[in-house]
Amino acid sequence: MPEHDKTKNRIARYILCAAFLLLCCGVPAAGVLGYLMGFQVFSSENRTMAARPRIESLEDVFSFPAEFETWLSDHLFFKSTFVKAKTGTELALFDELQSSSVILGSEEPWLFYQRDDDGLSLETYKRIIPFSETELSEAAKAIDDMRISLEELGVDEFILYIAPDKETIYGERYMPGYIKRADRESSTVQLIRYIEENYPDVHVVYPVEHMLSSEGRFEGVETLYYKSDTHWNQVGALVGMEALMEEVAELYDTTYTFKDTEFFDAGRAEGDLQKLALLPESFDRVEYGYLRSPQFALTGTTVSAATGETVIYEGNSLDPDSLPIYLYFCGDSFKNTSLAYIMEANKSSVVADRHYLNFDDVRQRQPDVFVYEIAERYLHELPEIEGYNTEPMPWA
């Protein structure tokens, strides 16, 4: 080989080695510098990262290598950036998403949830997990037992408010074609019918029909749920709340109508499914703002005595036509975009987290109506109700 070719090969090897060393040393150095300067350098995945493993006993010695590997993987500098680049490339080249938690819908940026350790959204949509008679009996009885316990505390009315899964509203249109749905009654309808037949004192609101009929009702609003998030958006929350307040008003032989509300595109934000799958900005969800201010005053916030962690919100309506009701709303994350509507519609309201249900707080406040909101994908968990027949969920 000519001498000049040997020299060129030697230089190429040096450059390759230098690039490799720069990658090995430069990325950690940049990560440390970025961390010290306050930049986000660790993973932004929407989940709890692995804790640093410790060796405190002989058994820990054997489990340490695998636990350390998991911890290191979760805490690599700029992991989110690299994974986002990888997923973006896969989508661009192959139109595929490799994720055990998130399904890519038939149209981007539609995403759906598929993990079975946080509710059963996909299974509920596919209708492959009908309730057995025993499960129906246990779930319905747990709810009615809670109603009775609340009645003993002085609560007049109890409502089970089921927030429809995003799949229920949009699955038939945007689920990928390989996901099939069984031709049978849904488990949600099963449970509602069982409660109506056996526990008539439990009022149930499941606003699916109201939501389907509200499609296209608001100018400039494309959907009632976020495309890259599991939840309904500000508009979907209003539509769901209309159905709930109609039921509350009927119990007191009156009516209530929300003031005319128009919405505008208020910008973009990351959706929870987008974060979970580490997808790029093209999947950001649309946030809607109100063209009028909701008519309520937030009068206070307290920390739940049961957990020392979760916040309870208190408010009064400023709408002279509000329902003369003191309503206690206990719900999951679907409550967050509903809070303003709850407080506008009722003379007085409390909004708390259902995972930290505190009966002592209910006893002290003496509300007229108690609403227990639960997302549809969690209905199979109803026999065990945190804060009622089990301990409140510990704060992670």
Reported as a single tens digit per residue, the pLDDT across 124-153 is: 999 999 999 999 999 999 999 999 999 999
**CA dist., res. 208 & res. 214, Å (int):** 10
- Last residue within a domain, chosen from 19, 51, 77: 77
| Domain shared by 274 and 368, yes or no | yes
Q: 376: domain range?
A: 111-381
When comparing pLDDT for 223 and 81, which is higher? 223
Asked if the model's pLDDT at residue 297 lies above 90, the reply is yes
| Pair of tokens at residue 8 | 């060129």
pLDDT score for 294: 87
pLDDT at position 385, please?
A: 96
> Residue 103: what pLDDT?
95
138 and 66, same structural domain? no
Please report whether residue 340 resides in a domain: yes
Choosing from 59, 77, 95, the residue where a domain stops is 77
How far, CA to CA in Å, does 178 sit from each of 106, 172, 181? 10, 12, 10
Residue 119 has pLDDT above 90, yes or no: yes
Do 228 and 374 lie in one domain? The reply is: yes
Residue 271 belongs to a domain: yes
Query: Rounded distance, CA 163 to CA 124, Å?
Result: 13
Is 300 a domain residue? yes
Residue 41: pLDDT over 50: no
Residue written as token pair 């500098």: 77
Check whether residue 273 and residue 325 sit in a common domain: yes
Distance CA 329, CA 34 (A): 42
Cα separation of 26 and 2, whole Å? Answer: 35
pLDDT higher than threshold 80 for residue 390: yes
Output the pLDDT for position 310.
Answer: 86
Q: What's the pLDDT at 9?
A: 58
> Helix H segments across 50-154?
58-74, 79-94, 121-126, 133-152
**pLDDT range class, residue 38, cuts 50, 70, 90:** low
- Point out the least confidently predicted range of 66-70, 79-83, 258-262: 79-83
In this structure, of 43-57, 132-146, 201-215, the range with the lowest mean pLDDT score is: 43-57
pLDDT exceeds cutoff 90 at 175: yes
Least confident of 89-93, 160-164, 236-240, 371-375: 89-93
On whether residue 393 sits in a domain, the answer given is no
Rounded Cα distance, 33 and 25, in Å: 12
Q: At 391, is the pLDDT very low, low, confident or very high (cuts 50, 70, 90)?
A: confident
If asked whether residues 209 and 146 sit together in one domain, one would say yes
Q: 240 with 163: CB under 8 angstroms?
A: yes
Residue 333 in this model has a pLDDT that exceeds 70: yes
How many domains are there within the chain? 2
Both 217 and 70 in a single domain?
A: no
On the question of pLDDT at 23 being above 90, the answer is no
Q: What is the pLDDT of residue 60?
A: 61
Instruction: Please tell me whether residues 200 and 67 are part of one structural domain.
Output: no
Range in 79-93, 149-163, 258-272 the model is least confident about: 79-93
CA 38 to chain centre: 28
**Is the confidence at residue 339, as pLDDT, over 70?**
yes
Boundary residue ending a domain (77, 95, 126): 77
pLDDT, mean over the chain: 85
More confident residue, 79 or 270: 270
> Is residue 223 domain-shared with residue 331, that is, in the same domain?
yes
Question: Using alpha carbons only, what angle is made at residue 294 by residues 361 and 340, rounded to the nearest 5 degrees?
Answer: 30
Backbone angles phi, psi at 387, to 5 degrees: 85, -5
Task: Looking at the structure, tell me whether residues 177 and 123 fall in a common domain.
Answer: yes
Q: Check pLDDT > 60 for residue 261.
A: yes
Is residue 331 scored above 70 in pLDDT? yes
pLDDT of residue 246 exceeding 60, the answer is yes
pLDDT at 204: 98
Domain assignment present for 318: yes
Q: What was the pLDDT predicted at 100?
A: 86
- Under the banding of pLDDT at 50, 70 and 90, the label for residue 96 is low
Same domain, 61 and 175: no
305-309, 319-323, 344-348 — which is least confidently predicted? 305-309
Quick check: is 82 in a domain? no
- Is residue 167 located within the same domain as residue 48? no
pLDDT at 54 (0 to 100): 73
342: Cα separation from own chain's centroid: 19
Checking if the pLDDT of 13 tops 70, the result is: no
Q: Is the domain of 49 the same as that of 116? A: no
Residue 269 lies in a domain: yes
- Whether residue 356 lies inside any domain: the answer is yes
